[in-house]
Chains A and B, each alone.
Chain A
Amino acid sequence: MRRYSILALARNALGYHEGWERAWRAPEPKPEYDAIIVGGGGHGLATAYYLAKEHGITNVAVLEKGWLGGGNTGRNTTIVRSNYLWDESAALYEHSLKIWEGLSQELNYNVMFSQRGVMNLAHNLHDLRELKRRAHANRLNGIDCDFLSREQVGEYCPLINLSPDIRHPVLGATLQRRGGVARHDAVAWGFARAADARGVDIIQNCEVTGILREGGRVTGVETSRGTIRAKKIGLVTAGHSSVLAGMAGIRLPVESHPLQALVSEPVKPILDTVVMSNTVHAYVSQSDKGEMVIGAGIDPYVSYSQRGGFNVVQDTLHAIVEMFPMFSRLRMLRQWGGIVDTCPDASPILSKTPIEGLYINCGWGTGGFKATPGSGHVFAHTIARDEPHPLNAPFSLERFTTGRLVDEHGAAAVAH
C-alpha cells in the first residue's frame, strides 16, 4: 500500500494524478478462504482488517452484495460517543472510542474523527435524574462526561432555545467532550484499503444466498458469484442480520426497522457540537460541508425497504425547529432511510452461534457506527480464537435465554 500524505499529493499533482493506484483490488473470489466475512459495511471491513492485522489470518474475503458501505455505514449520522450507562456497554464503546482517536493514523486514511463533543439535553426532572445517573456511572468507569447546568448549556451551544417558557425547557445536559462525528464513507474505504493491503479480498456485488453446513459446522456460502468455501464465517449484515441467520437456521431476537435521517443545505459554520434530546426527540450536528445532519428514532413498523414515513421526518423537524427556532428557514436537502436491526435490550450481539464456525455481529440498531473499530477488533478475536474477547463476552446470543440482558433502553417510563 502506497502511503497517503500531503507529499504524495504534491508528487501526484505533477503527474496529473494519473499515478494513484486503486484503493483496494477487485479480485475474483477464490474457491476457498480461511475466513469469510459477509457484509461489507464498516463492521465487516474492520473485522477483516483486524483478523489480518492482529491474528495473522489474511486469507480472508469480505463479501458485499452491493457496494462497500452502502448499508447503514454510508447512511448514518455518524455520532460517536462512549457515555453508555452499563459497565458492559461503556467498556465496549470506550474501547472503540480509544481506537477512533488514532484511527486515521492507523489506517493512513483520514476518517475525519472530529471530537467536537456530544451533548444530551435534559428537559424534565426525570431526564435530569437519568442523565446524572449516567454521568456518575461514566465518571466512575473512567469515561469523560460532564454535567452542564442550563447556563452552561447556553455557553457551550448558544443556538439552543433556552427560554424557560417553552414546552420542554432545557434544564441541563451531559457533555462528552471526546465524543463527536466522523466521515462515514471514509471509515469503510479506509478499512477496506488497509485490509486489502494485508491481503484481504474485498468482493463487491457478491450476495450471499445460502450458508453451507455439514454436521453442525459451516463449510462455506452460496453466493451470486458461486460457491465459496470457508471453515469460519462471520455474519455482519446489520439490517439483514436475521435474513442471513435464517439461512443457517438460526432465529435471532432481532427486529429490522427503518431509521431515517436528513440534511439541510450547507451553511457557514454555526453549530460546533452534537446536540441530542430524547425528550424532544431529535439530534443534530453540522457536517464539515456545512449541512445540518439530523435524525431521530426508528419508524415503528418493521421493514426492509430502506425508507420510512414522511410523518417521522415531520416529527423530527418539529423537534429541531423547537430546539433551534433559527433553523426554521434552513431547507431540507436530502432525506433517506436505512434498515437497522434492533435487539430487545438495545444492545448488540457479538457472538458465537450454535453452529460451529459461524459467528454473528449484529443488533447495533440505531447506534453501531460509533462501535465500528472496536466491534471489528473484538469480533476478529472471537472468530480467530473461537471464543469471545472479554469485552464482547456479555453480548452473547445466550443472554436472551439466560436473561442477562444489557438493557440500554433504561426505563422508558416517566415517574408518577
Chain B
Amino acid sequence: MSQSHRLPAGGRIDRSRSLSFTFDGTRYSGHPGDTLASALIANGVHLVGRSFKYHRPRGILTAGSEEPNALIQLGLGNRTEPNIRATQIELYDGLTAASQNRFPSLEFDLGAVNDTLSPLIPAGFYYKTFMWPQRGWMTYERAIRRMAGLGRAPDGPDPDRYEYRHAHCDVLVAGGGAAGLAAALAAGRAGARVIIADEQAEMGGWLLSEGDTEISAKPAVDWVEKAVTELAGMENVTLLRRTTAFGYYDHNWLGLAERVTDHLGPYAADHLPRQRLWQVRAKQVVLATGAIERPLVFGQNDRPGIMLAASLRSYISRYGARPGKALVVFTNNDSGYRTALAAHHAGIGVAAIIDSRAEASGPLPQSARAAGLRIYEGHAIIATTGRLRVDSVRLGRLAASGDRIEGAGFGIPCDLVAMSGGWNPNVSLFSQSRGKLDFRAEDGVFVPGQSFQPLRSAGACNGVLSTADCLAEGFAAGAEAAREAGFANRKPAALKVTEPDCPAAAPFWLAPPEKPLARAKCFVDFQNDVTAADLKLAVREGFQSVEHVKRYTTTGMGTDQGRTSNVNALAIVSATLGMEMPAVGTTTFRPPYTPTSFGAIAGRNIGALFDPVRRTPIHEWHAAHGAKFENVGQWVRAWYYPKPGEDMHAAVNREVKAARTGVGILDASTLGKIMVKGPDAAEFLNRVYTNSWLKLGIGKARYGLMLGEDGMVRDDGVTVRLGEDRFLMSTTTGNAATVMTSLEDYLQTEWPELKVYLTSVTEQYATITINGPKSRELLAALTDDIDTGNEAFPHMSLREGTVAGVPARVIRISFTGELSFEINVRASQGKAVWEALIEAGAPFDITPYGTEAMHVLRAEKGFIIVGQETDGSMTPDDLGMGWAVSKVKPDFVGKRSLTRSDTVREGRKQLVGLLTEDPKEVLEEGAHVVQVALQQPPMAMLGHVTSSYYSPNLERSIALAVLKGGRALIGKTLSVPMPDKVIKVTVTEPVFFDPKGERANG
C-alpha cells in the first residue's frame, strides 16, 4: 500500500494517518486531505475513465469541479452515485470507487472499437443514418443507449436524508478564494450579515496551491488561515464549506447545495442530513468564483497524463503528489513556467517547455531558463503517443502565422504533459443572473459586463489575474456590498503580496496537428469527445450559431457544461467563420453550476411529507371501525365500512339500504366551507351563482351552481344565510381551494367595490350528515332546543341550537333524496357528537356509510357530482338543471356565454340515465356509448358513462351518462362497445328513485 508517487514532504495532507480505499477493486491508500484524484495520482494511477463516445482512455485533467474526464462511480448499492468527479471526492477510509463506461475492464474496453470507427462517426453522424428500415431505429436505439450513459443509477431507494435551510443575508459571497475571503472580511467587519460559501473542503481557493505566493510577508496559506479564523469568530458571518452556489435566480435568490456528510462516508452521524439545500435571499451578492484554466487544443491532447498546468501545481503543492517523472509543459503564457518551476523544485524532471509564443521573456521564463529548463519558443505539440498513458509528445516549429508547422516534427519522451491556454473567468453564476458578458480581446476572455441584479464580481472571475489585485477587488467589493446593504465602513488598507508576475495569455486556439485535422483528434470537449474537426464540420454544414454548434456537435453539453471547452470551441468556430468571437456569441450558462442531487432539491418533501394528508376530526373513529379509505385530493375519506366477511359490494349495498330504510350517518366534513361576510355578501353571491340570492331569508338554504366564464359548470353546493350580511357557502371537497381563490380573484380584481370578506372555514367545522326516515327521531333525541318537526324545520332551512350538548348549526338538506340533516359543530367536538349520534342511533340500527354509498344514493336520484358528470364542457341546461339559472338576473359569471351559438345549439351532450338489458351488468365508468356498434373502430361516439353502480334499492344496475342530444334519445336502445363484448342499454331519465322527490320533504 505504499504511495509510490507521493512526494517526501509538503502538501496539506495529514501524513500521520492513512486511509485505505479501492478503485476498480484494487486497494490503495491515501491521507486525510486527499481527494480521490490526488490519492490516485499519488499511487501512480492516471487512467481513470473512458470517454463518452469513442471510449478513449482518459485521465485526470484538473484538480477541481471543472473536471470533464475523471468521472467515477462512487460507493455501492443504494448509495452508489454515478459521474462524480474524482477531483471533488474527499477521501475517507473504506471508500469504494470504480471507473465507468467501460466493458469488460478499464484497460481493455470493447467500446473502444468506436475509436477505430471514429472516421465514420463524426459529429452528428446519427442524424444521417440508422433510417432503414422504418422501424429499425428501435433496434439501433437500444444498442446506442447501451453504449451511452456514463455511470449507473443506484440500485434502490436512497437511504439518506436531505434538508432545507432558508436564509436571508446582507451580503452573500460565492467563492472563498482570495477575493471571496477578502470580500467576506470587508463586509463582515462592517457588521453586515454575511454568508460565504465555497464548494471545496477548505476555504482558500488557488491560494492553497500556490507555494510561491506570500501575503504580508508570510505564506499565502497563513493569510487564509487568519482570514478564516477571523470570519469564524464573527457572529454575523456564516462560513459554508463544501457548499456550491449552484443557481442564481431572480431577485437575488440563490440556491446553495451543502454536502454535509459526503466526505465522512460511513462515519457520518445519523442525525445529520446528507446534504442541505440553502435557499438564500441576499441583499447584495459578491461573486468571487475564480477562473478556470483553459486547455490547449492539439493532436491527441486527451491521453491520461495530460493535465492542466495549474492543476498539476495543485497536485504537487497542495496534495504532495508526484504525477510523473518527465514533464512536458505546453503553454501560451507565463504561468506554464510557474508550473515547470514548481515541478522542477519538487524533483520532477522537466523535459521541455513548449511555448506557442515566438518569444517568452517575462520573469518566470527567465527563472526557468536560469534553472536550466529546456524551452522551445514558437513551437507547438502536434501529436502525442501512448496507449493508456502519454509516453511522448511530438512538436514542431510554428510558422509565423501560427496555423502551420514549418519543418519536420520531432519527439520528446515524457509521462506527463501540463498545458496552459490562459484563464477563463468563471462567469457561470454571473451569466445565470442574466448579466451581460464583455469580450476582452487581448487574452480572448469573456468578463462580466452589465449586471441586472444587485451583485458585483471580484477577483479572477472578473478577469483579474494577480493575487494582489484579487485581494484588492475582493475587499472593495465586500465593502461596497456592505455599504449598499446599509453598513458604513472604511476602505481597508491594501495588503502586500509577493508572487511571480504572470501577464495575460496570448490567445492560441488550435495547434496545427501533424495528421490531417479530421484524423488528428484535437479534442475541445473531452467528455463528449468533440474535436476541432467536428466543430469545423458543423460550421461547414451550416450550423453556425453557437447554439447550433453546441447542439450539433454536443460540445459543452456534458456534465461539466463545457467549463473547459466552451471558449475554445467558440474561438475555433469564430476562426473558421472568419468572425470576431463576440460576434459569433457566447453560450448561455444554465443552472445548476455543478450537478446538484435531486434528493437535496427535493428535501424532506417526499414520502409521508410529499403532500399533506387531510383527515377529518372523526377519522380515528372510522379507522377504529374498519373503514376502507379513499384519497380525494388531499383528503382521506371513509369509502365504506366492511363488516367481517363482507366484500365491498355487500358492504355498500347494506349501507345504501340502511340510508333509505333506517338511518345512515356520513362524515361530510371535507366539504369546502367558506364564510362570506359583508354588507354586499348577498350581491356577491348573486353574481357568482347562477340563481338569485338577494331575497333568500335568514335561516334559509339554497343550492347554487357556479359557472366558469365560458358558461360551463365549475362547482356546486348549498349555501345558507346566517344573517343579513353573513352566508356559509359550501363547495365540493376537491374544489374548495380553487373556488376560494377564484372568488378572491373576482373580489380583488373585478369587483373591488363590493364589501365582502371571505374566510375558509373548512377545517373549523365538522359536518355530520344523518340521513333516512329515522333521522328526525335521532336528531330529536339529541337536541332539546331545536324543534325538528316537519313544519317547524322545513327542508332547505337552518336551525342553530345544541346537539348532543354542544352548539350546532343544523341544516335540513339532502344529497340522497331522503329526509336528511347536516349537523355542523366545532371541529374539536366533531368526534364526540358523532359518537353520541352512533350511541343514540343504536335503537334505529344506525349505519355509518362512506363515499361509495353516498355516490350510489345520489346517483339513484340523478344528482350530479361536479368533476364526474361535468368535465368543464357541461352547461346547466346540458345537465337538466336549467331551473337553477335565473332568467331575470342582469348578470352573473358565465351568463353571457350561455347564449353563445354553441351553447344553445342542438345536439349538445345532455345528462341521461342508462339501464342495461341485463340488470346485473354494471357498466364501466368511462365507457362510451354508440348508436350502433361496428365490428371495428372508428365508431362515432355519442358520449360516455359518467357514473355507474349497482343499486340495491332498485335491485339492478343504474348509470348516468352524457350523450349528444341525450334527452331526445330517452327510450331508445343504444350500445356500449367494450373490448370483449357489446352491452345494450336503454336511455332513461336520469332520476331512478322517487322521481317526484317526496321523501326528502317527509
A135 contact set on B, CB distance < 8 A: 926
A304 to chain B, nearest CB (A): 13
Check A20 against B590 for contact (C-beta < 8 Å): no
> Are the C-beta atoms of A289 and B148 separated by less than 8 Å?
yes
Q: Which of A13, A87, A134 has the most CB of B within 10 A?
A: A13
Q: Which of A105, A131, A268 contacts B134 (CB 8 A)?
A: A105
Bitwise interface map of A from 144 to 187 toward B, beta carbon under 8 Å scored 1, else 0: 00000000000000000100001110000000000000010110
Given known A-B contacts A17-B537, A22-B542, A132-B926, A113 and B137 have beta carbons under 8 A apart: yes
| 9 pairs, CB–CB < 8 Å, chain A vs chain B | A135-B926, A137-B941, A268-B146, A268-B151, A290-B150, A327-B598, A328-B154, A335-B247, A413-B734
Give the residue of A13, A133, A416 whose beta carbon is less than 8 angstroms from that of B854: A416
Residues of B within 8 A of A101 (CB): 134
* A124 pairs with B632, CB closer than 8 A: yes
Asked whether A402 lies within 8 Å of B902 as measured between CB atoms, the reply is: yes
In the complex, A63→B871 CA distance in Å?
A: 40
> A24: which B residues are within 8 A, CB to CB?
542
Chain A interface residues (CB < 8 Å from chain B): 4-6, 8-10, 13, 16-18, 20-26, 66-68, 70, 74, 87, 101-102, 104-105, 108-110, 112-116, 123-126, 129-137, 139-142, 161, 166-168, 183, 185-186, 189-190, 204, 264-270, 280, 286, 288-290, 307, 309-310, 313-314, 317-322, 325-336, 344-345, 399, 401-405, 407, 409-416
Q: A322 near B129 (CB under 8 angstroms)?
A: no
B866 touches A270 (CB 8 A): no
CA distance A411 to B595 in the complex (A): 38
Question: B153–A270 contact, CB under 8 A?
Answer: yes
* B25 contacts chain A at the CB level, 8 A cutoff: no
Interface residues of B in 858-917 (CB under 8 A from A): 865-868, 870-873, 897, 900-903
Which segment of B282-290, B364-372, B516-524, B837-845 sits at the interface?
B516-524
Is the beta-carbon distance between A328 and B128 smaller than 8 angstroms? no
Which residues of A sit under 8 angstroms from B551, Cβ to Cβ? 74, 185
> Is residue B149 contacting chain A, with contact meaning CB distance below 8 A?
yes
Question: In the bound complex, what is the Cα–Cα distance between A407 and B641 (angstroms)?
Answer: 37
Residues on A with beta carbons closer than 8 Å to the beta carbon of B543:
23
- Nearest Cβ on chain A to B861's Cβ, whole angstroms: 13
- Other-chain contact of A413, B155, B552, B735, B855 (Cβ < 8 Å): B735
Q: How far is the CA of A67 from the CA of B588 in the complex (A)?
A: 14
A329 interface neighbour in B126, B154, B552, Cβ under 8 Å = B154
**Which residues from B are CB-within-8-Å of A67?**
545, 547-548
Q: A26-B544, A330-B598 are in contact. List 10 more A-B contacts (CB 8 A).
A: A5-B128, A21-B541, A102-B134, A112-B126, A167-B607, A186-B127, A286-B145, A310-B249, A314-B601, A399-B902
Judging by beta carbons under 8 Å apart, are A288 and B144 in contact?
yes
**Contact A414–B597 (Cβ < 8 Å):** no
**A269 contact set on B, CB distance < 8 A:** 145-146, 149
- Once the chains bind, are A329 and B253 in contact (CB under 8 Å)? no
Of residues 619 through 645 on chain B, the ones whose CB sits less than 8 Å from some CB of chain A are: 630-633
The complex places the Cα of A9 from the Cα of B156 at a distance, in Å, of 42
Decide if B79 touches A105 in the complex (CB within 8 Å).
Answer: no
Asked whether A326 and B78 contact (CB < 8 A) given A13-B120, A17-B537, A317-B602, the answer is yes
User: Which of B126, B253, B601, B854 counts the most chain A CB atoms within 10 A?
Assistant: B601
CA of A289 to CA of B529, assembled, Å: 13
Q: Which of A66, A132, A325 has the most CB of B within 10 A?
A: A325
Q: Tell yes or no: B733 within 8 A of A by CB.
A: yes
Is there a chain A Cβ closer than 8 Å to B125's Cβ? yes
- Whether the pair A124, B630 counts as a contact (CB closer than 8 A) is yes
How many inter-chain contacts with C-beta < 8 Å in the A-B complex? Answer: 360
- Tell me whether B10 is interfacial, beta carbon within 8 Å: no
- Smallest CB separation, A72 vs chain B (Å): 14
A17 to B122, CA, bound (A): 8
Is A9's CB under 8 angstroms from B125's CB? yes
Query: Which residue from A74, A190, A289, A326 sits with its C-beta under 8 Å from B156?
Result: A326
Decide: A136 near B710, CB < 8 A? Known: A113-B137, A268-B150, A289-B149.
no
CA distance A299 to B286 in the complex (A): 29
A267 and B631 in contact, given A139-B937, A309-B249 (Cβ under 8 angstroms)? no
A332→B374 CA distance, assembly (Å): 46
Q: Within the complex, which residue of B83, B597, B603, B938 is in contact with A140, where a contact is CB–CB below 8 Å?
A: B938
Asked if residues A317 and B131 are in contact (CB atoms below 8 Å), the reply is: no
A interface majority secondary structure: loop
Query: A18 and B518: CB pair below 8 A?
Result: yes
If A334-B561, A409-B872, A416-B854 touch, whether A318 touches B606 (CB-CB below 8 Å) is: yes
Rounded to whole angstroms, the CA-CA distance of A131 and B924 in the bound complex is 12
| Set A280, A336, A407, A415: member contacting B732, Cβ < 8 A | A415
B739, chain A: closest CB distance, angstroms: 10
B131 near A105: Cβ-Cβ < 8 Å: yes
Residue B270 CB within 8 A of the other chain? no
Contacts of A328 in B (CB 8 A): 154, 157-158, 160, 162, 597-599, 602, 606
The yes or no answer to B613 lying at the interface (CB within 8 A) is yes
Q: In the complex, what distance in Å separates the CA atom of A20 from the CA atom of B541? A: 6
Contact B867 A414 (CB under 8 A): yes
Q: Which residues of A contact B518 (CB under 8 A)?
A: 16-18
Q: Are A167 and B598 in contact (CB under 8 A)?
A: no
Q: Is B851 an interface residue (CB 8 A)?
A: yes
* Known contacts A22-B542, A266-B149, A414-B733; is-contact A329 B602 (Cβ 8 Å): no
In angstroms, Cα B545 to Cα A304, docked, is 22
Which residue of the partner chain, among A265, A319, A321, A329, contacts B150 with CB atoms under 8 Å? A265
Question: In the complex, which residue of chain B has the Cβ closest to the Cβ of A4?
Answer: B128
Inter-chain contact B156/A4, CB cutoff 8 Å:
no
Task: Evaluate contact between A133 and B253: CB separation under 8 angstroms.
Answer: no
B253 nearest in chain A by CB position = A310
The answer to whether A332 and B592 have CB atoms under 8 Å apart is yes
Establish whether residues A332 and B610, one from each chain, have CB atoms under 8 Å apart when the complex forms. no
Task: Output the nearest chain A residue to B133 by Cβ-Cβ distance.
Answer: A105
A101 CA to B519 CA in the complex, in Å?
A: 36
Please state if B158 and A326 are interface contacts (CB–CB under 8 Å). yes
CB-based nearest A residue for B632: A414
The reply to whether A411 and B597 contact each other, CB–CB distance below 8 Å, is no
- In the complex formed, the residue of A with least CB distance to B944 is A133
Of the candidates A110, A134, A280, A416, which one forms a contact with B129 in the assembled complex, judged by CB atoms under 8 Å apart? A110
Chain B positions within 8 Å of A23 at CB level: 541-543
Select one of A16, A112, A168, A331 contacting B141, CB under 8 A. A112
The proximity string for B residues 908-941 relative to A, scoring 1 for CB distances below 8 Å and 0 otherwise, is 0000000000000000111110100000111101
> B154: which A residues are within 8 A, CB to CB?
326, 328-329
| Pick from B150, B607, B854: contact of A322, CB under 8 Å | B607
Contacts of A317 in B (CB 8 A): 598, 601-602
Assuming the contacts A24-B542, A67-B548, A139-B937, asked whether A167 and B610 have C-beta atoms less than 8 A apart, the reply is yes
Docked complex Cα distance between A223 and B303 (Å): 50
Contacts of B192-226 to chain A: CB distance below 8 A = none
Point out the residues of chain B lying under 8 angstroms from A289, CB to CB.
148-149
B710 contact from A25, A115, A185, A405, Cβ within 8 A? A405
Q: Please determine whether B944 and A137 come into contact, CB atoms closer than 8 angstroms.
A: yes
The answer to whether B711 and A403 have CB atoms under 8 Å apart is: yes
CB under 8 Å from chain A, chain B span 536-583? 537, 540-545, 547-548, 551-552, 559, 561
Query: When the two chains form their complex, are residues A329 and B141 in contact, meaning their CB atoms are under 8 A apart?
Result: no
In the complex, A87→B127 CA distance in Å?
A: 34
Contact B542 A26 (CB under 8 A): yes
Contact, CB under 8 Å: B597 / A331: yes
Most chain A CB within a 10 A radius of its CB, from B710, B711, B936, B977: B710
Contact B247 A310 (CB under 8 A): yes
- B979 at the A/B interface (Cβ < 8 Å)? yes
Which B residues are in CB contact (< 8 Å) with A68? 548
The 7 closest A-B CB pairs, nearest first, are: A414-B734, A290-B149, A413-B867, A133-B926, A132-B926, A328-B158, A331-B595
Contacts A108-B131, A290-B145 given; indicate if A136 touches B900 (C-beta within 8 A).
Answer: no
A5, B136: Cα distance in complex, Å: 14
Contact indicator A407/B873 (Cβ below 8 Å): yes
Q: Does B138 contact A (CB under 8 A)?
A: yes
**Shortest Cβ gap from A86 to chain B (Å):** 9
